[in-house]
Amino acid sequence: AISWQHPEEQLKYWQHDFSKPTLEEPMELFTDVMEKSVQVHRRKYLGHQTTPTLPVTVLSGALISLLNQGMGVYEMGMVGNTLEKILTEDLAQTLGYSAEASGFVTSGGSLGNLTALLAARAAVTKVWRKGYEEGLKPAVLVSDEAHYCIDRAARIMGFGDEGIIKVPVNDRFQLRTELLEEYYQKAVADGRQVICVVGCAGTTSTGSYDDLETIADFCKQYSIWFHVDGAHGAPAAFSTHYKYLVKGIEQADSVVVDYHKMMMTPSLSTALIFKRGSDAY
């Protein structure tokens, strides 16, 4: 599935390739790229981060590249913008949301999680309009097993070390929900405003699903935004056998789902769903 080369070897090889005369036709380059890439369709490939893609996506990818529609405004991509709305709302209903839910597609789980936290901050503080006022020290409660992009997003937003409060996990690598109260009260005592709790469905390292129902109840108690990083595992909602793993996800204010993982589309393609569609603004 992978013919390993050290980064220095790869760099040296492709630097040499780049210095060659311009090719008259691309097949030599295409073949070389395929041979040196991870073979995601091989039977021994284990699906690290991205999955094998469905064959039809080769055709859809070619069509998208040919049409080259913009998605910034409706006029630039009328079909794409419309399908984005239909597909994200269909996914939202599969997750258990009402017709009020909506969302959009973005480039990967890292950007999706950052956008969700920006929405959480805008919903519970005045930062979006007034900036950081004196004394405001926002924070997020996250699982110690949460993907590194949550930590990075909080830092991008200016929360700093103390604004990323990591809650320990149990022996199944799930957030210990019985500790939420303790960690929340300590944050408040330290002058922090907890704007969001992040649940995992499932974690990148182990595939563990947090107890989303209990986290949802805690967030309701203190009027805190509840976000679920379901980049890897939220599509369990499509499974009759495994959908119990995401029980409670429909109570989250926002959830991120990667189409390019268990849903087998080309990377990067991520849905960010909001329980209240208007929160996307």
Cα–Cα dist 208/189, whole Å: 31
User: φ and ψ at 208, to 5 degrees?
Assistant: -75, 140
Question: In which band, very low, low, confident or very high, does the pLDDT at 259 lie, cut at 50, 70 and 90?
Answer: very high
Residue 240 has pLDDT above 80, yes or no: yes
Would you state the pLDDT for residue 95?
A: 98
Residues 95, 251, 112: CA angle, nearest 5 degrees: 65
Q: Span 138-167, mean pLDDT?
A: 96
Q: Is 227 in a helix, a strand, or coil? A: strand
Cα–Cα dist 135/168, whole Å: 28
Cα–Cα dist 208/206, whole Å: 5
Would you state the pLDDT for residue 167?
A: 98
E strands in 13-130: 102-106
| Rounded (10°) CA dihedral 281, 125, 98, 271 | 60
Instruction: Find, among 188, 144, 196, the residue nearest to 169 by Cα.
Output: 144
Residue 51 per-residue DSSP state: P
Would you state the pLDDT for residue 84?
A: 95
Q: Span 193-216, mean pLDDT?
A: 96
pLDDT tens-digit series, residues 30-68: 999 999 999 999 988 887 778 899 999 999 999 999 999
Cα–Cα dist 175/209, whole Å: 9
pLDDT tens-digit series, residues 93-131: 999 999 999 999 999 999 999 999 999 999 999 999 999
Residue 209 per-residue DSSP state: B
Task: Identify the residue whose tokens are 């013919």.
Answer: 3
Percent of the chain with pLDDT over 70: 100
Would you state the pLDDT for residue 96?
A: 97
Task: Identify the residue whose tokens are 């087998």.
Answer: 264
Q: Name, in order, each residue with C-beta under 8 angstroms of 43's C-beta and a sequence gap of 6 or more.
A: none
User: What domains are there in the chain, each with its CATH number?
Assistant: 1-37 (no CATH), 74-280 (3.40.640.10)
Q: What's the pTM value of the predicted model, to 2 decimals?
A: 0.94
Question: How much of the chain is in helix, strand and coil states, percent to nearest 5?
Answer: 45, 15, 40
Helix (H) or strand (E) holding 226: strand 225-229
Would you state the pLDDT for residue 51?
A: 87
Q: 189: which 2 tokens?
A: 């005592």
Give the mean pLDDT of the chain.
95
The amino acid present at 199, given as its one-letter code, is G
Number of H helices, E strands in the chain: 9, 7
Number of Cβ within 10 Å of residue 173's Cβ equals 18
| Rounded (10°) CA dihedral 116, 122, 127, 129 | 120
